A and B are shown apart, each in its own frame.
Chain A
Amino acid sequence: MWRIRAFEERVAELTRASEVHGLVHLSIGQEAVAAGVCGALRDDDVVYSNHRAHGHALAKGAPMAGVMAELMGRDGGLCRGLGGSMHIVDVEHGFFGATGVVGGNVPLALGSALAARRRGTDAVAVVFFGDGAVQAGIFNESVNLAALWRLPVILVCENNGFAEFTPRSAHTPVERVSDVVAPYRIERRTVDGNDALEVRAELAAFRDAGRAGGGPFLLECLTHRLRGHYEGDPANYRQALAADEWQALDPILRLQRLLDDTAPVAVIEAEARAEVARAVTAASESPYPPPELAGELVYA
């Protein structure tokens, strides 16, 4: 979680400095979901994500320098600078990618689960999405199909209470995403998404059931997006948390309070910040991709 936090804090600075380009959506405050979910998966468990994807990618194993270089539009980026923040992909570690279309990747995870079953592996597929995606038609189509085909897919909703700039209550009368999928009789849990250990435990239970032929599953993680929808969003639509409120919620501080006596917490943070510094250096040294690259990668 410190790796994600330190990475994204640096990304925020680099965005203001115009070193990181374009629309950037940070997940600061939501790190426990990425860490709790991805930490329980293998490389061949394919993960799809949404527009707020840096944490998911890093937690799944994507090399930090490759993610940073991608955000900076460099040839050394995971996607050689052709994707950007909303399109990070790291096939080697089973991170099949972010998407800029809300809800757009949900059915792709179903397809990956279908392929795993067809090919006789016990891999599960996971897709992250926000509560805003649940109101999109594609979500309903996908949940129905996943339930109908009993696919080994885990739908992970990061319910941070805001769809872009609007509170969930203004978009739907259904408060809990787990209630939205109730008629489909899929296994579902709503957990404290700022509790990394709880997220991991529930995800692991679904993972094991998926490996044994079960599915689909929905894990709703109640969490808090500390920053605006995107970097530069003044977030006038909501009140910022008071410092003491955030201290109580912060998933990193919460885990630290549990581990204080046993883990070298300060060392973990320092290592994370050093790794970020190295990633920025490596990314900055990478050139921009050659202009002809765009034409070369339209078709496989």
Chain B
Amino acid sequence: MTELTYLGAITRTLAEAMRDDPDVVVVGEDVAEGGPWGATAGLAEEFGAERVLNTPISEAAICGVAIGAAQSGLRPVVEIMFIDFVTLALDQLVNQAAKAHFMSGGQLTAPLVLRTQGGAGQRGGAQHSQSLEAWLTHVPGLKVAAPSNAADAAGLLRTAIEDPNPVVVVESKALYFRREDVPDGPLRVPLGRASVVRAGRDATVVAVSTLVPEALAAAEELASDGIEVEVIDPRTLVPLDLDTIAASLARTHRLVVAHEAVRQGGFGAEIAAQVQEACFDELDAPVLRVGAPFTPVPFSPPLEDAYLPGRAAIAAAVREACGR
């Protein structure tokens, strides 16, 4: 075990993947300087400018170059600095990358990873704080991962780099500097396998990314009132490990889904829909969703703090689901 930050785990994984496979290249704005948080710090020094490619502020072209490079044999890891800017690359991601394998009748693959980060709480205003992962889950051909801790940030990234499909890894800037123990050596977390991060019998909380530690804090609080919450981190939204969620519901019969993204059209709605289709008879209460209100992220600190869903909202939802 080594104590690493979530960011440090990403940096270590990028370096390991680049050492192991000369086709892995890193592409993005300011990546040679390490980027604004240092996720790619030291890579240019070790691997050189031909493999750590600084780009102009051209998100669409960056993504398109990565797709073309991937189709011709490289394994690009693209960084889009804020998920808010993925809007600029969506044509490339949605129309070129996601469909290439399908439209070519299986001839082409686009094995690229798009790393980006989302989430509020940094006073970044409405264009540097969004949680837009649900958009990406609506596109067949893309895989979407959302790690909630350092070990998963490493393990999901490594698996994503080795996956033959385009994978978007949505990191959480709120979690970047949390220090955690990370197992040594190359980690691999399969895409499509959820993690039960706390066992419980009374209710299940499926929490995404930043809200996983919030759900654990809520579970701690509820335990003191005798409500035992099972917390599941899906880790990847596409593919979604519905089996693990269903197995939990068969024990708890109550479900709360929680994410920082706005509730309306959020991925929680998809989980709720899939659960009621697959295991309606297991539900003793309506599925409840925790998420942000349907407004842009406000800038003013007290307003942003009030906007963010967290442990209190999760705890309240669990109490409601349990009727206590």
Chain A residues packing against B (C-beta within 8 Å): 46, 48, 77-83, 87, 89-91, 96-97, 99-101, 104-116, 118-119, 125, 137-138, 141-142, 144-145, 148-149, 294, 297-300
Q: Given A101-B96, A111-B72, A114-B74 in contact, is the A89-B107 Cβ separation under 8 Å?
A: yes
Q: Which of A82, A115, A298 has the most CB of B within 10 A?
A: A115
Given A80-B105, A115-B74, A118-B50: A298 touches B141 (CB 8 Å cut-off): yes
Given known contacts A79-B104, A82-B102, is B56 in contact with A107 (CB within 8 Å)?
Answer: no
Given known pairs A89-B103, A91-B107, A115-B74, the reply for A110 and B91 (CB within 8 Å) is: no
Q: Are B140 and A298 in contact (CB under 8 A)?
A: yes
User: In the complex the two chains form, what is the Cα distance from A137 to B59 in whole Å?
Assistant: 11
Contact of B104 among A83, A138, A141, A148 (CB under 8 A): A83
8 Å CB contact of A87 from B58, B72, B104: B104
Residues of A within 8 A of B73 (CB): 115, 119
For the side of the interface on B, what is the size category? 35 or more
Q: Considering the chains assembled together, what is the distance between the CA atoms of A114 and B112 in angstroms?
A: 14
Q: A77-B105, A97-B108 are in contact. Are A112 and B72 (CB under 8 A)?
A: yes
Q: Is B69 an interface residue, CB under 8 A from the partner? A: yes
Nearest A residue to B57, CB-CB:
A141
Within 8 A of A (CB), among B39-67: 50-51, 53, 55-56, 58, 60-67
How many Å from the CB of B169 to the closest CB on chain A?
16
Given contacts A82-B105, A114-B69, 6 further A-B contacts (CB under 8 A): A80-B105, A83-B104, A111-B64, A111-B74, A145-B58, A297-B101
Residues of the A chain whose Cβ atoms lie less than 8 Å from the Cβ of B103 = 79, 82-83, 87, 89, 97
Known contacts A87-B103, A91-B104, A118-B25: A300-B109 contact under CB 8 Å: yes
Q: Is the CB of A148 within 8 A of B71?
A: no
CB distance from A295 to the nearest CB of B (A): 9
| Cα distance, A299 to B68, chains bound together (Å) | 17
Pick the residue among B64, B104, B111 that contacts A89 (CB under 8 A).
B104
A-B contact pairs, 29 of them (CB 8 A): A46-B71, A48-B68, A80-B105, A80-B106, A81-B105, A82-B104, A89-B103, A90-B107, A91-B107, A91-B108, A107-B62, A107-B67, A108-B64, A108-B68, A110-B68, A111-B66, A111-B68, A111-B69, A111-B72, A111-B74, A112-B69, A138-B64, A141-B61, A144-B58, A298-B141, A299-B101, A300-B106, A300-B109, A300-B111
